Structure 1
């Protein structure tokens, strides 16, 4: 049984102008200790999926359909009290900006100790010991001294290390990392991702990595789910999706990576922008931006088909996989 199994998840936002569908029946799973990437541009629905799993959707957002099964229980059916026992305990989340996570007026030690005591019946001395151990695991020098530091006294990279340490405090089964390195310098980004990968492996923790960067996904995850306009358009084993992408959107994301352009040449880009929720095109939502569009793409939304375990939502999937599309 999968650690997390999301099936046909629908998330809606009722507005005065009608109901907007942010996620339209997405499905994916995470096994124990597995690392799964969720990829897409801004507005694809990546963060909405994470907030839905943790029941943190901002009102009037709501889960309108589907199920989210974690460790055998459907999270959509849990009471507020029972959900609190899961959130921050069995499932932890790492946000992209550590200053949005850390309280600026409390020391690092106070925040870590309070987190532990909120989920466990332990003494302050034991909580302090665990906090020091976790800070050491994320390579923070002099962890005993850092417990008495305030967030503003640490660099961006160190703050994110603290956030990772807090996420590991309760020994969760799953960590959701939402663009965890976006606010950091490029060199620090690589260090943080390498650290997260090593910690997930050593602790046997499942990971959902939310990002727009397929290069990062290829280095960290084992499977990848590509979202577009709230729909899964491609998913499968990471190496296969990265090296043999089928959906035109996935191909566009990979072609846009800086390393794909010759020195001095303009970077490749996908024309147009992600459609807003109140203006999703008829048929395939990607067709206005697609280089392989045909009339049938504008008429009906394609189903998610399996090509030897590789899932693709495109009417020309077989042609594209065989290299026969033009």
Structure 2
């Protein structure tokens, strides 16, 4: 049984213009200790998927269908009280900006101790000992002194290390990292991603990494899900998807990486932009931006086609996989 099994997940947001669907029948699994990447542009539905897992979809948004099985429990059926036993304990989340995660008026030690005591019957001394151990694991120097620091006294990279340490406090089975290095410079990004990879391997923790950067996904994850306009358009083993992408959107994301361009020339880009939920086109939602579009792409939504474990939502999936181009 997978650690996490998301099936036919549908998330809706009722508005005055009608019901907008942010996720359409999304499927994916995460095994114990496995690292899964969820990739796509802003508006693809990546963060909505993460918030749905933790039952953090704000009203009037709602999970309108599907199931989220975690350790055998369907999280969509749990009460608010029952979810509190899962959220922050068995499943931890790392958000984009550590300054939005950490309380600016409490010391690091206070926040870590309170987190542990919220989920464990434990004394202050034992909680501080565990906090110091976790800070040491994320390579924070002099962890005993850092317990007395306030968030503003730490650099961005140090704050994100603290957030990772807090995520590990309760020894969760799964960590969801929502673009955890967006607010950091490039060199610190690499350090943080390397740290997260090492910690997940050491503790046997499952990881869902949400990002727009396929280069990061290729270094950290074992499988990847590519989202576009709230739908899975390609999924499979990361190495296979990155080395031999099939869906035109995935190809475009990879071609847009700086290393794929010609030195001195303009960077490659996918023309146009992600459609808003109020204006998703008929048929394949990527058809207005696709280099391989055909009339049938505008008529009906393609099904996910299985190419030996590599699943692609495109009417030309087999042609593109075999190298046939328009």
TM-score by length of 1: 1.00
Partner residue of 1:29?
29
Whether 2:304 is the aligned partner of 1:304: answer yes
Partner residue of 1:122?
122
Partner residue of 2:7?
7
1:140 and 1:158 in contact (8 A); partners too: yes
Give the Cα–Cα distance (whole angstroms) in 2 for the partners of residues 24 and 225 of structure 1: 14
Q: Shift of residue 263 of structure 1?
A: 1.1
TM-superposition CA deviations, 1:62-105 (whole Å, max 9, x none):
00000000000000000111100000000000001000100000
Partner residue of 1:113?
113
1:6 and 1:69 in contact (8 A); partners too: yes
- SS of the equivalent of 1:5 reads strand
TM-superposition CA deviations, 1:263-311 (whole Å, max 9, x none):
1011000000000001010000000000000000000000011000000
Q: Shift of residue 219 of structure 1?
A: 0.1
Whether 2:119 is the aligned partner of 1:133: answer no
- SS of the equivalent of 1:240 reads helix
Give the Cα–Cα distance (whole angstroms) in 1 for the partners of residues 229 and 262 of structure 2: 30
Give the Cα–Cα distance (whole angstroms) in 1 for the partners of residues 72 and 100 of structure 2: 31
- SS of the equivalent of 1:27 reads strand
- SS of the equivalent of 1:25 reads strand
TM-superposition CA deviations, 1:239-286 (whole Å, max 9, x none):
000000000000000000001012101100000000000101000000
Partner residue of 2:93?
93
Q: Shift of residue 206 of structure 1?
A: 0.1
Q: In the comparison of the two structures, how many residue pairs are matched?
A: 326
Unpaired runs of 5+ in structure 2?
none
Give the Cα–Cα distance (whole angstroms) in 1 for the partners of residues 176 and 163 of structure 2: 12
TM-superposition CA deviations, 1:115-151 (whole Å, max 9, x none):
0000000110000000000000000000000000000
- SS of the equivalent of 2:7 reads strand
User: How is 1:191-230 mapped onto 2 (pairs within 5 angstroms)?
Assistant: 191-230=191-230
Give the Cα–Cα distance (whole angstroms) in 1 for the partners of residues 263 and 324 of structure 2: 29
- SS of the equivalent of 1:275 reads coil
Give the Cα–Cα distance (whole angstroms) in 2 for the partners of residues 185 and 323 of structure 1: 38
Partner residue of 2:68?
68
Partner residue of 2:255?
255
Partner residue of 2:166?
166
Whether 2:189 is the aligned partner of 1:179: answer no
Over aligned residue pairs, what C-alpha RMSD do you find? Answer: 0.3
1:90 and 1:174 in contact (8 A); partners too: yes
Q: Shift of residue 17 of structure 1?
A: 1.1
- SS of the equivalent of 1:224 reads strand
Which stretches of structure 1, 4 residues or more, deviate above 3 A after TM superposition?
Answer: none
Give the Cα–Cα distance (whole angstroms) in 2 for the partners of residues 270 and 17 of structure 1: 29
Whether 2:26 is the aligned partner of 1:42: answer no
- SS of the equivalent of 1:262 reads coil
Give the Cα–Cα distance (whole angstroms) in 2 for the partners of residues 190 and 285 of structure 1: 33
- SS of the equivalent of 1:226 reads strand
Partner residue of 1:104?
104
Partner residue of 2:55?
55
Q: Shift of residue 325 of structure 1?
A: 2.2
- SS of the equivalent of 2:129 reads helix
- SS of the equivalent of 1:300 reads coil
- SS of the equivalent of 2:311 reads strand
- SS of the equivalent of 2:291 reads coil
TM-superposition CA deviations, 1:184-238 (whole Å, max 9, x none):
0000000000000000000000000000000000000000000000000000000
